[in-house]
Amino acid sequence: MPDMQLRIAMISAHSCPMGDLGSRDTGGMNVYIRELAAQLGRLGHTIDVYTRAHDARDPEVVHIGEGARLIHLRAGEVGAIHKLVVYSYLADFTCALESFRKANDLEYDLVHSHYWLSGWAAHLIRPWWRVPHVTMFHTLGAVKNAVAACDDEPELRTETERGLAKECNRIIAATAREKQQLEDYYEASPGRISVIPCGVNLDLFMPANKQAAKTQLELNGRRVALYVGRIERLKGIDHLFQAIAQLRGNRDICLLVVGGDDQSQPEMQRLGKLSEQLGIGDRVHFCGRVKQEDLPQYYAVADVCVVPSLYESFGLVALESLACGTPVVATRVGGMEDIIAPGTGYIVGHDPAEIADGIDRILSSPGFEPSIRDSVTRFGWPNVARSVEQLYTQMLFIGPASGLPV
Ligand code: UDP
């Protein structure tokens, strides 16, 4: 296979990869894009990640890492706008993208889009560029509607996803489950889907001294359960609160809820009320958004990390917790079956009683810690980047012979 430098345009139109993690629309996908871009840059490729200008203070071009940069494009007002409104600016976005490319004399070998809005932007740009399109949906509108038993995700989204699933050259799914969902909900052809798991920053997420972390967060002598993530209904935080209220042992446990910003306030207030109604208000602490570089301390302080989600495309938080040596109780979503090996945690159903049972079992069994981190070291981002690089090169240089549509 040719060993050459690839020029990759990534599109993350609605959400900035360098945005504040833990806020309403900024989470796992943003981590994925920034880590993948940085690692592909290290492998010698050039990566330009395009996003919509959302803050007038941001420079047009931001350095992500060696060979990787982020480019803010003007499309609609410069400021936070709802992601569905971004759809109406995608034509402007692609015009701005093409103007930037021409003005800077850039050529790309392929376009890699993230989320359906960016998939649509890539669809608009392809007739001009005539390069292969790789997409990642990160979440699927049809699956969200199915698990929430509602139609919150508009037909515009589900039909756009359905069209993209059929038309783009390649889809990267984070799990075999997502691949199956793409086939079931959108009739995507299995031959077009590659399963490549997400990763974890093993240099950042490392085990630390639990006792010292407890002292620092003033939780000495307390058993601690931890939730980390965006604050939204599909994360299943209601079930976690009900589980905490139902614990048979460990009734003094406190729960740290990390994540949430101003836009998450209504949901946090609702959850605050729920915790009072359940009689656990004094044991639930809303910590707000925490910078990722400070998160290892939270994973260290926790005796158990709980991922109670109704839907998850992968579940980076579970991976980060295990990399820090903290066991996980997670619902059967995303990549949990791949992430949680025996002896590192429990996969449970959505019923709060099952979540409670998982927490109880972890807290009552010593000896969970020593080998937990080893179980996830294969998920380092360099490995993810190499798999994605392999997919790109197969598409570009082997093409039909590989069975990959080009
Ligand atoms: N995160 C963070 N600070 C917070 C909350 C979350 O840095 O206050 C990060 C967390 O480390 C993880 C990501 O946001 O990398 C959430 O990813 P996950 O796959 O768990 O959930 P998603 O956002 O994709 O639903």
Q: What is the pLDDT of residues 202-235, one digit of tens each?
A: 999 999 998 899 998 889 889 999 999 999 999 9
In the reported structure, the alpha carbon of residue 320 is separated from the centroid of ligand 1 by a whole-number distance in angstroms of: 9
Q: Closest ligand 1 atom, CA of 29?
A: 24
User: SS3 string of the chain?
Assistant: CCCCCCEEEEECCCCCCCCCCCCCCCCHHHHHHHHHHHHHHHCCCEEEEEEECCCCCCCCEEEEECCEEEEEECCCCCCCCCHHHHHCCHHHHHHHHHHHHHHCCCCCCEEEEEHHHHHHHHHHHHHHHCCCEEEECCCCHHHHHHHHCCCCCCHHHHHHHHHHHHHCCEEEECCHHHHHHHHHHHCCCHHHEEECCCCECCCCCCCCCHHHHHHHCCCCCCCEEEEECCCCHHHCHHHHHHHHHHCCCCCCCEEEEECCCHHHHHHHHHHHHHHHHCCCHHHEEEEECCCHHHHHHHHHHCCEEEECCCCCCCCHHHHHHHHCCCCEEEECCCCHHHHCCCCCEEEECCCHHHHHHHHHHHHHCCCCCCCCHHHHHHHEHHHHHHHHHHHHHHHHHHHHHHCCCC
Query: Tell me, what's the pLDDT at 338?
Result: 96
Q: Which residue has the higher pLDDT, 387 or 366?
A: 387
Q: What are 238's two structure tokens?
A: 């209601």
Q: What is the pLDDT of residues 118-154, one digit of tens each?
A: 999 999 999 999 999 999 999 999 999 999 867 689 9
Residue 149 lies in a domain: yes
Q: What are 166's two structure tokens?
A: 């059929």
Residue 64 lies in a domain: yes
Clarify whether residues 393 and 263 are in a common domain: no
Clarify whether residues 69 and 117 are in a common domain: yes
For the chain, the domain total comes to 2
Q: Is 314 in the pocket of ligand 1 (CB under 6 A)?
A: yes
Clarify whether residues 46 and 88 are in a common domain: yes
Please choose from 14, 20, 25, 31 the residue to mutate so as to test ligand 1's pocket, defined by most ligand atoms within 8 A of CB.
31
Query: Tell me, what's the pLDDT at 221?
Result: 87
Clarify whether residues 133 and 222 are in a common domain: no
Please give the average per-residue pLDDT across 293-308, as a whole number: 97
Query: Tell me, what's the pLDDT at 401?
Result: 46
Residue 348 lies in a domain: yes
Residue 11 lies in a domain: yes
Q: Closest ligand 1 atom, CA of 235?
A: 25
Angle between helices 316-323 and 28-42 (to 10 degrees): 70
Instruction: Look up the pTM and report it.
Output: 0.95
Q: Is 296 in the pocket of ligand 1 (CB under 6 A)?
A: no
Clarify whether residues 121 and 185 are in a common domain: yes
In the reported structure, the alpha carbon of residue 272 is separated from the centroid of ligand 1 by a whole-number distance in angstroms of: 21
| Confidence band for 249, pLDDT divided at 50, 70 and 90 | confident
Residue 405 lies in a domain: no
Q: What is the pLDDT of residues 7-33, one digit of tens each?
A: 999 999 999 999 999 888 899 999 999
In the reported structure, the alpha carbon of residue 258 is separated from the centroid of ligand 1 by a whole-number distance in angstroms of: 9
Q: Whose CA is nearest to atom 17 of ligand 1?
A: 28
Q: Is 295 in the pocket of ligand 1 (CB under 6 A)?
A: yes
**177 pLDDT more than 90:** yes
| Confidence band for 330, pLDDT divided at 50, 70 and 90 | very high
Residue 125 lies in a domain: yes
**Which distant-in-sequence residues (6+ apart) come within 8 Å of 351 by Cβ?**
239
In the reported structure, the alpha carbon of residue 259 is separated from the centroid of ligand 1 by a whole-number distance in angstroms of: 8
Residue 204 lies in a domain: no
Whichever domain contains 350, its CATH number is 3.40.50.2000
Q: State how far the Cα of 336 lies from the Cα of 326, in Å rounded to an integer.
A: 15
Clarify whether residues 36 and 184 are in a common domain: yes
Residue span of the structural domain in which 176 resides: 7-199+381-398
Q: Is 235 in the pocket of ligand 1 (CB under 6 A)?
A: no
Q: Is 136 in the pocket of ligand 1 (CB under 6 A)?
A: no
Clarify whether residues 52 and 111 are in a common domain: yes
**1 pLDDT more than 60:** no
Clarify whether residues 372 and 385 are in a common domain: no
Residue 403 lies in a domain: no
Clarify whether residues 247 and 370 are in a common domain: yes
Q: Is 179 in the pocket of ligand 1 (CB under 6 A)?
A: no
In the reported structure, the alpha carbon of residue 317 is separated from the centroid of ligand 1 by a whole-number distance in angstroms of: 6
Q: Closest ligand 1 atom, CA of 260?
A: 8
Clarify whether residues 178 and 316 are in a common domain: no
**369 pLDDT more than 90:** no
Clarify whether residues 69 and 176 are in a common domain: yes
Clarify whether residues 389 and 290 are in a common domain: no
Q: State how far the Cα of 337 lies from the Cα of 325, in Å rounded to an integer.
A: 18
Q: Is there a contact between 97 and 50 (Cβ–Cβ < 8 Å)? A: yes
Q: State how far the Cα of 382 lies from the Cα of 393, in Å rounded to an integer.
A: 16
Q: Is 289 in the pocket of ligand 1 (CB under 6 A)?
A: yes
Please choose from 261, 292, 312 the residue to mutate so as to test ligand 1's pocket, defined by most ligand atoms within 8 A of CB.
292
